[in-house]
Amino acid sequence: MDRNRAIVCVIIGISAGLLSGLLGVGGGVILIPAMIYILNLPQVQAHGTSLGVILFIALFALVPYTSEGQINWLIALGLAIGGVTGAPVGAVIAHRLTAARLRSFFGVFLLLVGIRMLFDAADTLFIPGESLLPTQVITATGVWYAIIIILIGLITGILSGLLGIGGGIIMIPAMVLLLGIEQQTAQGISLAVIVPVALSGAITHYKHGNIRKDILFLLVIGGIIGAPISGLLAIRLEPVILRGVFGVLLAITGTRMAILKQPQHQT
């Protein structure tokens, strides 16, 4: 790998790490498009390598949340049980899909997430003191509450293994809107769950030869630089502007991935 390509890998990793700490997500929504359109990796390798990078990024992004007590470990355990079960299933499905179908799925996913983040930002900016979004939908307790948490984790795990994401973009809205958990706490829980879920999916992708270890190493270096810094900022700042800007980026990127062909890749 030449020097310029190595520098680009580190910069991509830093960007994913910053996003991870600020929003409590793994960073796959940045890593995968960047690996496909900038580093020219095949679709399934981008998904597998993304999960490997996310594992390390989430570990470092988790540190400030843990030190600030922003994690409910019982909820994290329930989500992790479901997530670890679902991630290998999603990874196997990803390996069996054609690159075009996998790219379309991921593109549509990015578009929907981008729209969701834009709606969230507009809701916060233009309707202060009042929200169009529900604050808690599920009021179950006891065993049913635990089952719902595990189901959320299972769905997250399947999509994580399939799409090469950590799953925070799914878990955080579910925790905030369905369970009524505070945003910062939801982000901390998300990162705690992402670690075992990403590990589970990455192992399956590794067995299928979908992880590029040379690129993974450089992306991880960048990721562990950016994640702790942004994690500290996330606890003290309201990331609504970032959510809006990032929502636009996701919507544009998702639309492009859904309708355009993948570029010729390097091997």
Backbone dihedral region for residue 128 (phi beyond 0: left; psi -120 to 50: alpha; all else: beta): beta
- Quick check: is 45 in a domain? yes
Average pLDDT over residues 224-253: 72
Q: Residue 70 carries which DSSP code?
A: -
Average pLDDT over residues 19-36: 81
Can you tell me the distance from the alpha carbon of 118 to that of 267, in angstroms, rounded to the nearest whole number?
36
Domain count, the chain: 1
Q: Residue 265 carries which DSSP code?
A: P
Average pLDDT over residues 187-210: 91
Q: Helix 142-163 crosses helix 43-67 at what angle (to 10 degrees)?
A: 140
- Quick check: is 264 in a domain? no
Per residue in 31-77, pLDDT tens?
988 999 899 999 889 999 999 999 998 888 888 888 878 788 999 99
- Quick check: is 266 in a domain? no
Can you tell me the distance from the alpha carbon of 162 to that of 47, in angstroms, rounded to the nearest whole number?
8
State the pLDDT confidence band at 239, using cuts at 50, 70 and 90: low
- Quick check: is 232 in a domain? yes
- Quick check: is 265 in a domain? no
State the pLDDT confidence band at 267, using cuts at 50, 70 and 90: very low
Q: What is the pTM of this model?
A: 0.78
Q: Which domain holds residue 169?
A: 3-259
Q: Across all residues in the chain, what is the average pLDDT?
A: 83
Per-residue pLDDT, 261: 60
- Quick check: is 23 in a domain? yes
Q: What are the E-state strand segments in the chain?
A: none
Per residue in 163-197, pLDDT tens?
888 788 888 888 887 888 887 788 889 889 989 99
Whole-number percent of the chain with pLDDT over 90:
33
Per-residue pLDDT, 243: 66
- Quick check: is 177 in a domain? yes
